Amino acid sequence: AKSNLQFPDGFLWGGATAANQLEGAYDKDGKGPNLADVLPGGKVRLEKIKDYGFDFEIDTYKYYYPNHEGIDFYHRYKEDIALFAEMGFKAFRMSIAWSRIFPKGDEKEPNEAGLAFYDKVFDELHKHGIEPVVTISHYEMPLHLIKEYGGWRSREVIGFFENYATTLFKRYKDKVKYWMTFNEINGAVFHPILGLGFSAKDEESRLQETFQGLHHQFVASSLAVKAGHEIIPGSQIGCMLIYAPVYSADCNPENVFFALREEQIFDYICGDVHVRGEYPVFAKRYFKENNINLEIEEGDLDIIKKYTVDYIGFSYYMSRTEKKDKSGESSVEGNIMDGVKNPFLKASDWGWEIDPVGLRIALNQLYDRYRVPLFVVENGLGAYDKIEEDGSIHDDYRIDYLREHIREIGEAVEDGVDVMGYTAWGCIDLVSASTGEMSKRYGFIYVDKQDEGTGTLERKKKKSFNWYQNVIKTNGAEL
């Protein structure tokens, strides 16, 4: 249908993925083991992510590890990129597996075979006129850095990351213009494992450890921005937030303030450091009240101030509704974050509340506060898909979800927000980050791979494939 909305010329339509969730080939061509390789499949993963004292070992007797094979993009990237091109993608968001480039993470010299793989992928994308958008670190820290250094707990990791990022910039300077440093950096506030590569010792020390780890990442991110700008003139280096507007459950000012404070802590501590180059004013009190004492070395704050990001990439899946006193309330079951149920919203089969208007709110809030270009680099619906007897897949629920969200982006553009692009999450079915399931599918392209690891890996277009192709063709004028 006609949308009556106008998206900017050159809008970066496309899809988004992460290395560990689709590449497979987890031990090929010199790649070292990483965090994703030790995360089991199934709902047990979600519990492990929340665990204290997670051991980071592989136990194949007990568990199945879906990321080891992923969807075998490592060997099928040509076929997959051709399908993205057929949909008309202008951009493809992907990440680089750190441990392909530095198998242990602390080496001085990179692994040439790993670098060569991404050369081939970028060349293939450019052959089809698709711009790569690259996340440098997406939940796939080398295991050695986790075990030997305690992940981002350690300040030493800053130097390893800087070397890794610099290596990428030098190697791909003619192939990649758009970069992002850390995927969903603020997600660590709820669960440090994925982003920071450690599980907190206990609930009491969680915030202290998390914010110290984040501080290290802030410095590392700024050093990457510095290196990127020096090595690749004209490059665009962004941060990446998981953004959720926080609503008050009602108009009781106590709850309104509570929601505001939650939003400040969750969304704006990381956002402010990345974009404004400084910790926000409320952080001081929040840190004090929560016994968070950051070790900040001389020079850190200057680096943070000087090398801020060019744009904000963010994921948007849900809003969050909060209340000061949650006793007696059932919390939202599947949402990754805290909160109470929003009576106005329906949820996905995994309990993620669906809120398209929340995306327009998010875009307005972020632009009001930061005035830098925004890039919606993840959004989508994880759903069960059914293959009909004739082989077709009618994923109208996914089309509806995406249509509603894209419409709200169009509204935000009319509001005056500078939006660079939209890359739908999991444009091809891949392993879920939170549950390790394959059955939580996001793609326009179906992959025959099942939760327990069976399947031919054959690719099939879903109904949403043609729908999205037309959205891109009409630059959002038809949704």
For the bound state, the minimum distance from the C-beta of residue 174 to ligand BG6, rounded and expressed in Å, comes to 28
Q: Is 248 in the site for ligand BG6 (CB under 6 A)?
A: no
Beta carbon nearer to ligand BG6, 217 or 315:
315
Per DSSP, which regions of 1-142 are E strands?
Answer: 12-16, 91-95, 131-137
Helix axes 396-415, 463-473, angle to 10 degrees: 20
CA within 13 Å, CB half, 452: 2
Query: 135-174: which residues touch ligand BG6 (CB under 6 A)?
Result: 139
For the bound state, the minimum distance from the C-beta of residue 317 to ligand BG6, rounded and expressed in Å, comes to 6
For the bound state, the minimum distance from the C-beta of residue 238 to ligand BG6, rounded and expressed in Å, comes to 14
Q: Please pick, from the candidates 12, 18, 241, 270, the single residue that binds ligand BG6 as defined by CB under 6 A.
A: 18
Q: Considering only CA atoms, which of 64, 22, 54, 334 is closest in space to residue 193? A: 54
Beta carbon nearer to ligand BG6, 227 or 336:
336
Q: Is 38 in the site for ligand BG6 (CB under 6 A)?
A: no
Q: Considering only CA atoms, which of 100, 82, 137 is closest in space to residue 23? A: 100
Query: 414-473: which residues touch ligand BG6 (CB under 6 A)?
Result: 425, 432-435, 440
Q: Is 315 in the site for ligand BG6 (CB under 6 A)?
A: yes
Torsion of CA 7, 424, 50, 190, to 10 degrees: -10
Q: Considering only CA atoms, which of 299, 169, 183 is closest in space to residue 227? A: 169
User: What residues contact residue 473 under an 8 Å CB cut-off, 6+ apart?
Assistant: 88
Mark 223-242 with x for binding to ligand BG6 (rule: CB under 6 A) and - for no binding.
-------------------x
Instruction: Count the site residues for ligand BG6 by CB under 6 A.
Output: 15
Give me the residues paired with residue 421 across strands: 12, 375
Q: CB count, 10 Å around CB of 175? A: 17
Beta carbon nearer to ligand BG6, 353 or 378:
378
378 is catalytic: yes
Classified as helix, coil or strand, 421 is strand
Q: Considering only CA atoms, which of 362, 242, 371, 375 is closest in space to residue 313? A: 375
Beta carbon nearer to ligand BG6, 139 or 468:
139
User: Token pair of 157, please?
Assistant: 């990791």
For the bound state, the minimum distance from the C-beta of residue 303 to ligand BG6, rounded and expressed in Å, comes to 26
Query: 168-187: which residues touch ligand BG6 (CB under 6 A)?
Result: 183-184
Using CB atoms, what's the residue nearest to ligand BG6?
Answer: 434
Classified as helix, coil or strand, 236 is strand
Torsion of CA 108, 119, 219, 319, to 10 degrees: -140
Classified as helix, coil or strand, 315 is strand
Beta carbon nearer to ligand BG6, 102 or 317:
317
Measured distance CA(295)–CA(305) in Å, rounded: 17
Q: Say if residues 240 and 325 touch (Cβ distance below 8 Å).
A: no
Mark 349-388 with x for binding to ligand BG6 (rule: CB under 6 A) and - for no binding.
-----------------------------x---x------
For the bound state, the minimum distance from the C-beta of residue 477 to ligand BG6, rounded and expressed in Å, comes to 28
Beta carbon nearer to ligand BG6, 283 or 433:
433
User: Token pair of 246, please?
Assistant: 């926080």
Q: Which of 23, 378, 408, 437 is catalytic?
A: 378
For the bound state, the minimum distance from the C-beta of residue 435 to ligand BG6, rounded and expressed in Å, comes to 6
Beta carbon nearer to ligand BG6, 163 or 379:
379
Phi then psi for residue 199, to 5 deg, are: -105, 140
List contacts with ligand BG6 (CB under 6 A).
18, 21, 139, 183-184, 242, 315, 378, 382, 425, 432-435, 440
Catalytic residue annotation? 378
